[in-house]
Structure 1
Amino acid sequence: MKSNYLVFIVCFIVACNTSKSSTPKKSQTNEIENLFFSKVDFKKNKPTPNNYVNSFTLNKDEFLNIHFTLDKPLIESLKLLAPSLSQDQLLNKGNFQFSFLVDGKKVHIENLNKGAGTVDSKTTKLEYMVPLMYPKQIDFWGWFMWLKFMKLSGGQDVFAEGNHSLTIEVRPYLKEEALKVGEILAKGNITIEVAKIPIDESLIPVQEIQPDSGWQLSKDNFDRHKIEVLNRKIAEKRFENINGIVVIKENKLLIEEYFNGENRNSLHNPRSVGKSFASTMLGIAIKENHINSENAFLKDFYKLKSFKNYSSKKDSVTLKSLLTMSSGFLGDDSDYNSPGNEENMYPADNWVKFSLDLPMRKDKTIGKDFTYFTAGVVILGDVIHKSVPEGLISYADKKLFAPLNITNYKWQYTPQKVGNTAGGIQLRAIDFAKYGQLYKNKGKWNGKQIIAEKWVEKSVSKQVSQTYAGIKDGYYGYLFWNKIYTVNGRDYPVSFCSGRGGNKIFIFKNIPFVVVITSSAYNNPNAHANADKMMKEYILPAIIERK
């Protein structure tokens, strides 16, 4: 269950035979023009120069590819940037740089990851075909590059209705201590005609809150127009696969909206948002003396010498280090080649054994060095399950869900039929809001202390520094994230639960709000960025009181 975070699967598709029509040409301004566009489904038909086009209709045409021919292989251009480096060093530090210009203004620059393209493609090939747009996700770096240009850098915003010019430039780049960029290798442009996206206008107005929500309703105002602008972008699929938005202000329901087939009673899979529930249940178990403290050692619960790859360092692993993703196990969910990557755990017959069999990393300090490690949260779930009366699921129902009056929910299970704390526990969006408000209330609900206030404070505090998933100056607590949103020059610190697909529970620290976003964009690489943009540009500006 990734909180997300993206590893591109990359390769080049080589097409197009050499022909006169693909020979580099000079424009009237003496600039190179040897990059061309086509609108062919490359999986069904091999594009040829006869397919090259000068215009493309955004929101209507489904396919867009670029084609360019080099005078010499990329490696030769990289050598000009650093003649003293070996071929391996050049390929490790450099690749193509793509620049996207709309109406002459640079909107996005992409320095391709070193893994984009094979060694052969960078050392011998001269002709390239790169798919940019395809109606479904494809495992090509060009598809991801276009997505980042459109979604992350604002390409979709600058493409207003009407006609625009899109120019793409290709250069070599090398990144050592400083970034070195070579001369243009390929360049071309195309006219982009923007078609209006047909939508159901009934989806745009702010949705009226229906009765029997279980919350008192807030009578406070908010910027309804800003929310309607957001609703339009969701309807246009500018923000894809958004399912719900719930805003709580001062313990009262302010906004409740549903999209794409979900409603108040829909159970939603928030993926790694479920990890935070493991933190909650551990805190309750400690409060009731079923577990001594988070500083207890893993060796207190397992005979670590009976598992593979035992070392004395494993004896120093604490529950706290598992809570803060700093246990030092050889597991990294951001690295598909890591032995402890969660994708290697799921096929295993016993997830706990898989996790405890992993070796320790010699280069990591327990309790200090953050590495996102889902398998460690599975261990925590098993520790809780073994320590509390009647097991994890029964205990959670009695100690957490029943007090919150949450009756409609669904667990996923490990192969050993233990509640899966890696993620995936399904609740209604409005009940995820209850969970967030419980933390906003410092662990209290309807006058009863469900979670110890001190545990809540430690959970949402800055325990370990981390930059995972591009969170600048980010910190991790006890299976909670921390970051800062800046809106109109003001900072708004927030603790939050996060799950793959853009699922979030935001608990703001200096304003009286809890915000839930549920989303099923599980395979969308910009899902988390979408949630950030929705929060920063629409939701927060709509609900913050304007002085």
Structure 2
Amino acid sequence: MRPKLLAFLLALLPLLPLFAQSDNIVKNQGIISPVHQANTGKIAFTATEIPVTQIKEQDFLRSFELTNKTSLYINVFMDNSMTNYLHQLAPALAADSLVKKGNYQFALLIDGRPVYQSNLLPGAPQAKAQDTATTISKPLIDNQRQWALWSQSFWERFMNNGGDAALTEGKHLLRMEIRPYINIDGNIKVGGLIAAGELPLLVRRKPAVDLAKVRLNPITPYNGLVPSTEKFNSNKIKALKAYVEDGAFRKINGVVVLSNGKLLVEEYFNGESRATLHDPRSVGKTFTGSITGIAIQEGYLKNEQQTLREFYDLRAYANYTAIKEEVAIKDLLTMSAVFDGNDADYNSPGNEENMYPTDNWVKFALDLPVNTTMPKGQWHYFTAGVVVLGDILNKRVPGGLEKYADEKLFKPLGITHYKWQYTPQQVPNTAGGLQLTALDFAKYGQLYKNGGKWNGNQIIPAAWVSQTFTRHKSLPDRSNEYYGYLFWNKTYTVAGKSYEAFYCTGNGGNKIFVFKDQPWVVVITASAYGASYAHPQADKMMQEYILPALID
């Protein structure tokens, strides 16, 4: 070939993607940098966040040591935008329809073996980015900032679906592949490879723990709690502490163990201390059940069989039906009201995320339609129902809910350092978020362990504690797990023996465990809000470290 002709053809190469995109449905941002041009169709990995317009070839990782504290970012260089890729799969659809039916398909392979593939749900990234973006720069792992992005969610799903088992200690090869997919009436069509990249890994996630160098926090008295002299397997707690500090257990803030009402273990992490007010999210719901029991005992409510028609003119709310009239306080306590609200279902009209932007949360709940397809009395997690219960209490107890809770629950427990969140009507938010210290959460758990007594005083009626710790509802899709009055119930098995606990739980991995046939109360405070690993991580801590330490 003649040199001049060859030079001409080479000069045309950068323009070929533009010719190939002549049938695009939307205008994309094009090739944005020389690095983008040189790496089109590739995924590059970096250890820190670098704006894609500033990234250089020397920033790309050639190998990577994966520990519990390292972060990992992807930088994807494409020759088109997602909307245009989807247009190639479904040319008859309009642009705004394409991004509602399709997205990226991400796949991760370890050592050449496919481990996890995920079709990202439409909606993230947002439609504008889908239309224009020809690059992606996102974290797979970000240990410095709170878990929040779709890319981090994808990595967590990978870890929970084979990734954790595949990434054993030692050398591995990580490969990522990205394709477009579209779902039309249940038929999924996947396009060709958009971009791919590989990264040799040296996995070192298992901490090297020298137990001789780990020191447990010395136990000192706290208001209402004295140190325990009971023996336990301190090496198990030391190992747990080392794993939290190394990041093997993430965003754990505190671990407190009471045995026979005395303080046995007290450890804090990530800047918290025994003075820190911690947000336990839905753990706060359970306090609503406590106040309800006290209010019934004192005659401000008749009993938990009282129905909503005694508190509200339901005809004044949307979607009226006589069935709503029969919803009882007990239905709210057991998460089994007939309202069409399910926090586990993103598309449920009564999902709590639909409630928070409104200016009246009680109206939001009472306006909801009933769910006519769900079996009557079936358990479904319904935060808005607990808000209604809080509103009922606020109207019926003297001085309102906040004053009543302080006088009847917090002061008798010696709890003076706490913080409510509030509804738009400035009523204490019984959906969650009631902040206490870890030790005061432990005292609350011990109150239930004592059958409602504290320092010889019957704060919560013993019969109410018994009803609370009753398996009123079985949890759908969970084996041997139940729900009481705003308490959960499960059984751990360690060394062939069963250990049943009623417990409060909240987003982020927050827990208060009250063991039924053992003298233990265990509190875990955590801030892994929104992270899929949060609750499994707390279970692993309990199963492999805390319970074995107490049993020994």
The answer on 1:58 being equivalent to 2:58 is: no
Corresponding residue for residue 291 of structure 1: 301
- Pair 93,246 (structure 1): closer, same or farther in 2 beyond 3 Å: same
Once the two structures are TM-superposed, the CA of residue 442 in structure 1 deviates from its matched residue by 2.3
Question: In structure 2, what residue type is equivalent to 1:540?
Answer: L
SS at match of 2:342: coil
| Percent of aligned pairs with the same amino acid | 44
- TM-score scaled to structure 2, two decimals? 0.76
Please tell me whether the aligned partners of residues 320 and 367 of structure 1 are also in contact (alpha carbons under 8 angstroms).
no
What is the alpha-carbon distance in structure 1 between the residues aligned to residue 59 and residue 105 of structure 2? 25
- Alpha-carbon RMSD across the aligned residues, in angstroms, is 4.6
1:452 paired with 2:439, answer no
Larger radius of gyration: 2
**Are the equivalent residues in 2 in contact too, given 1:199–1:235 (CA < 8 A)?**
no
Aligned to 2:253: 243
Are positions 1:531 and 2:538 aligned together? yes
Paired residue for 2:14?
Answer: none
Contact 1:459–1:478 (CA<8 Å) still a contact in 2? yes
2:437 to 428, 443, 468: 428
Residue matched to 2:412:
403
- 1:229-308 correspondence to structure 2 within 5 Å: 229-308=239-318
Q: What are the within-5 Å matches in structure 2 for residues 440-479 of structure 1? A: 440-467=449-476, 472-479=479-486
- Structure 2 residue aligned with 1:361: 371
Shift of 1:232: 1.6
Q: More deviation in 484-493 or 225-234?
A: 484-493
| Displacement of 1:280 | 0.9
- The alignment's TM-score, normalised by the length of structure 1, stands at 0.76
Aligned to 2:402: 393
Question: Match of 2:522, SS?
Answer: strand
1:152–1:526 CA contact under 8 A, matched in 2: no
Aligned counterpart, 1:500: 507
Which residue of 2 is the match for residue 30 of structure 1?
Answer: none
2:24 corresponds in structure 1 to: none
Q: Report if the CA contact (8 A) 1:381-1:420 is conserved.
A: yes
Which one is further off, 483-492 or 303-312?
A: 483-492
Deviation at 1:205, TM superposition (A): 1.6
Report the alpha carbon displacement of residue 432 of structure 1 after superposing the two structures with TM: 0.9
Matched, 1:165 2:167: no
Greater relative contact order (Cα 8 A, min sep 6): structure 1 or 2? 1
Contact 1:330 1:360 in 2 (8 A): yes
Counterpart of 1:144 in structure 2: which amino acid? Answer: S
Is contact 1:351–1:375 with CA below 8 Å preserved after alignment? Answer: yes
Distance 1:323 1:287 in 2: 16
Inter-partner Cα distance in structure 2 for 1:388 and 1:452: 17
Amino acid in the other structure paired with 1:513:
W
SS of corresponding position for 2:511: strand
In 2, Cα distance between equivalents of 1:329 and 1:148: 31
Name the aligned partner's letter for residue 517 of structure 1.
I
- What are the Cα deviations for residues 402-423 of structure 1, in whole angstroms up to 9, with x where unaligned? 3322232222233333222111
Q: What CA distance in whole angstroms lies between the structure 2 residues aligned with 1:14 and 1:228?
A: 54
Structure 1 SS opposite 2:350: coil
Matched, 1:511 2:521: no
Summarize the Cα distance change of 1:281–1:433 in structure 2 as closer, same or farther, 3 Å threshold: same
Q: Offset of 1:536 from its aligned partner?
A: 1.8
Which residue identity lines up with residue 287 of structure 1 in the other structure?
Q
Matches within 5 A, 1:8-407: 37=45, 41=49, 43-45=51-53, 53-59=61-67, 62-65=71-74, 96=105, 98-101=107-110, 109-112=116-119, 114-115=121-122, 131=138, 132-134=140-142, 136=145, 140-150=149-159, 155=164, 158=167, 160=169, 163-167=171-175, 189-193=198-202, 204-370=214-380, 372-407=381-416
Contact 2:116 2:161 in 1 (8 A): no
In 2: Cα distance, 1:241 partner to 1:20 partner: 39
| Structure 1 residues 484 and 99: alpha-carbon distance in aligned structure 2, compared to 1, 3 A threshold | farther
Secondary structure in 1 matching 2:278 = coil
Conservation of the 8 A alpha-carbon contact between 1:39 and 1:61: yes
Q: 2:547 aligns with which of 533, 540, 546?
A: 540
Q: Hey, what's the Cα distance between the residues in 1 that align with 2:182 and 2:235?
A: 46
Residue 516 of structure 1 and its aligned partner are, at CA, apart by 0.5
CA distance in 2, matches of 1:170, 1:432: 45
Q: Decide whether the 8 Å contact of 2:32 with 2:53 is kept in 1.
A: no
CA shift in 2, pair 1:55/1:391, >3 Å: same
| CA distances 1:417-452 after superposition (whole Å, capped 9, x unpaired) | 322211122222111111111212222333333223
CA distance 1:100–1:446, change in 2 (3 Å)? farther
